[in-house]
Structure 1
Amino acid sequence: MYSQCILILGFITTLTYSLSSNCFFLPNLALNGGTYDEFPATEIKSCCIRCAKDPCCIAYTFDKVKGRCYMKSAITDSQKSSSVTSGLKANSHGGQGSMLRHIKITGGTASSVKLQNSEECQQYCTAYGIFSWSPPEQPEERNGDCSCMTRISNIEYSFGSKSAIFPNSELDRK
Structure 2
Amino acid sequence: MMLVECFGALLVLFIPIVCSLSSSCFYLPNIALRGGNYDEFPATDIEQCCVDCARNPCCLAYTFDAVKHRCYMKSAIVDSYKTSSMTSGLKANSNNGQGCSLRNIRIHGGTAQTIKLQRTEDCLQYCTSYGIFSWSPPNKDSGEQNGDCSCMSRISSLEYSFGSRSAIIPTVSNLDLN
Q: TM-score per shorter chain, which class?
A: 0.7 to 0.9
Moved more, 17-26 or 84-93: 17-26
Cα deviation code 1:147-167 (max 9, x no counterpart) = 000000010000000000011
Unaligned regions of 5+ residues in structure 1, if any? 1-10, 170-174
User: SS in structure 2 opposite 1:151?
Assistant: strand
Equivalent residue for 1:166, pick from 146, 158, 169: 169
CA distance in 2 between counterparts of 1:79 and 1:88 reads 15
Higher helix share: 2
The RMSD of aligned alpha carbons is 2.1
User: Could you tell me the percent identity over the aligned residues?
Assistant: 67
Does the 8 Å CA contact 1:20/1:96 hold for their aligned counterparts? no
Equivalent residue for 2:31, pick from 22, 29, 32: 29
Equivalent residue for 2:89, pick from 71, 84, 87: 87
Q: Does 1:153 align with 2:153?
A: no
Q: Determine the structure 1 residue equivalent to 2:9.
A: none
Does the 8 Å CA contact 1:17/1:94 hold for their aligned counterparts? no
Q: Which structure has the bigger radius of gyration?
A: 2
The list of structure 1 runs, each at least 4 consecutive aligned residues, that deviate by more than 4 angstroms after superposition, is: 14-21
TM-score, normalisation: structure 1: 0.85
CA distance in 2 between counterparts of 1:78 and 1:19 reads 24
Cα deviation code 1:11-55 (max 9, x no counterpart) = 99x949945851000000000000000000000000000000000
Instruction: Return the letter of the residue paired with 2:147.
Output: G
User: SS in structure 1 opposite 2:47?
Assistant: helix
